[in-house]
Chains A and B, each alone.
Chain A
């Protein structure tokens, strides 16, 4: 499960730290282990799926899987539209929750395919999803805030 890519991201996380500007900030906790992540998103232009993810900044406390997964999310989601980011997220979620039965698409998931091994350890799936689902929540809040 501990692919070199995961350990690299764990030791040298990409995009770590909370930055301005941002439209929404969320705090997610994994209550079974106490891992925590705070995620901020900064979106620009467009509505809904057309908006662009300008930044995903975060501060996290947790295991190598949750830390590295959030770092990879930063790499894969920033610079894309919300629609593209959500498609990537869906593919990632399907892979880690797939119990090893979902063949990951390397073109979509890039470095995130390293987390395919997590699917064999159901107890760790939450770790791999913590930062990603926090991002999804933050986008939803940012867009709800923007439209109201």
Chain B
């Protein structure tokens, strides 16, 4: 199978009805311009259903979960664990494989730090020996990663003496997996292969099955950054066969401050803790402590309760629409944006030019106009896009650009908004005099 499950043909959704669920989308910006929100790759907007669920929980059942025996504590714990169950089902995982984190960045750091904890110091649990890293070991990542799936591995290498290696990106925005050089990136020294499920800049969806196959062949663990895939397409983590995966609530119509780390049950069972303290213990004595089984072992302290419950509501919302329909909708917007932007003189897409193995992040350059300046003109028309290096600086360097403009879509975006974007780019070109009006 490919990285993301194929979408059912003919899946459609009612955008007007969906937009009515998002209060923020009806506001205007910059002197009465309707908001055209094309920055869901950075953070998505939240429907009333998510906001109402959080508020309802806080007004009726708020309490610290997994402590206390009073009525509210019981209701809060049930709501929190019910959210975990629905989120697990949403991504094809078992409930015990879902760990709540602050965001995807923390999820990836959790794995990196836990592996680090298995690699240094005294009295490491024998079960955790399998994660031990040291000089001579290698961690593999890719040039198209978000900093969140790169810097934690650089740091883990620094702490353990392991070496970082990476797959390069080709000019057309794909991973180079087949050059002579690429063939040796994953080898018998590789212990971890960390890669994105969908580039947050290029939109590229790398061949997960091939990377998982190569990693398994040498006994390396796979860590998938699923931040840009889980919100936009059906994802079945068991079917993908990755060992760990991480995603954020705020990119999938849910609250900020909540993310998910998925780990295969057998691995979470053996993984030492990252953050320690309350909730995550089994037995505490002054001489030392033992730890709770997962997922509790990885959720130290009072967790983000209303946020987790809000994420449960977001997953319900997306499930009701159907992720096949979400994917098909975003695919059609992406295709229109790719075609219409490439039609403009001086506009270059950074990343694959077609929707094949590609999601809904469309990064581009406008000849002669700095992205910041372009985004200012777009902003004056009410269009919100991301500019900069999008936390993927090495990727921009590989393309020889300092920064880019990125439009990204979600379930509430419309074809008219794609047209507004294209007209805005055209207006920026006229304003800066790079094309004649």
Cβ-defined contact, B376 with A33, below 8 A: no
- Scoring A residues 28 to 62 as 1 if CB is less than 8 Å from chain B, else 0, what string do you get? 00001111100000000000000000000000011
Binds A, one of B110-118, B233-241, B351-359, B386-394: B386-394
Q: Using known A-B contacts A2-B431, A61-B402, determine if residue A34 contacts B389 with beta carbons closer than 8 Å.
A: yes
Add 18 more A-B contacts to A33-B371, A63-B373 (CB < 8 A). A2-B431, A7-B432, A33-B387, A33-B388, A33-B389, A34-B393, A34-B396, A34-B402, A35-B402, A35-B403, A36-B402, A62-B372, A62-B402, A63-B370, A64-B373, A64-B432, A65-B372, A127-B372
Interface string of A60-90 (1 = CB under 8 A from B): 0111110000000000000000000000000
| B373 and A34 form a contact (CB under 8 A) | no
Supply 14 A–B pairs (Cβ within 8 Å), ascending by A.
A2-B373, A2-B376, A7-B432, A34-B393, A34-B403, A35-B372, A35-B402, A36-B402, A61-B402, A62-B372, A63-B370, A64-B370, A64-B372, A124-B376
Identify which of B370, B393, B396, B431 gathers the most chain A CB atoms within 10 Å of its CB.
B370
- Give the number of A-B contacts (CB < 8 Å): 40
| Residues of the A chain whose Cβ atoms lie less than 8 Å from the Cβ of B396 | 34
User: Roughly how many angstroms separate A119 CA and B395 CA in the complex, as a whole number?
Assistant: 32
- Which 10 residue pairs of A and B lie closest in terms of their CB atoms, listed nearest first? A63-B372, A63-B370, A33-B388, A34-B402, A34-B403, A64-B373, A34-B389, A63-B373, A33-B403, A32-B388
A121 contacts B389, C-beta separation under 8 Å: no
Is A102 at the interface (CB under 8 A from chain B)? no
Q: How far is the CB of A132 from chain B (nearest CB, A)?
A: 17
Verify if A1 is at the interface (C-beta below 8 Å from B): yes
A7 CA to B434 CA, complexed, in Å: 13
A124 touches B372 (CB 8 A): yes
Are A62 and B388 neighbours in the complex by a CB distance under 8 Å? no
What does the 1/0 interface line of B356-392 toward A look like (CB < 8 Å)? 0000000000000011110010000000000111000
Q: How far is the CA of A64 from the CA of B432 in the complex (A)?
A: 10
**Residues A33 and B431 in contact, CB atoms below 8 Å apart:** no
Query: What's the least CB distance linking A6 to chain B, in Å?
Result: 10
A65 CB contacts on chain B under 8 angstroms: 372-373
User: When chains A and B are docked, how far (Å) is the Cα of A62 from the Cα of B389?
Assistant: 13
Residues of chain B from 411 to 437 with CB closer than 8 A to chain A in the complex: 431-432
Point out the residues of chain B lying under 8 angstroms from A33, CB to CB.
Answer: 371-372, 387-389, 403
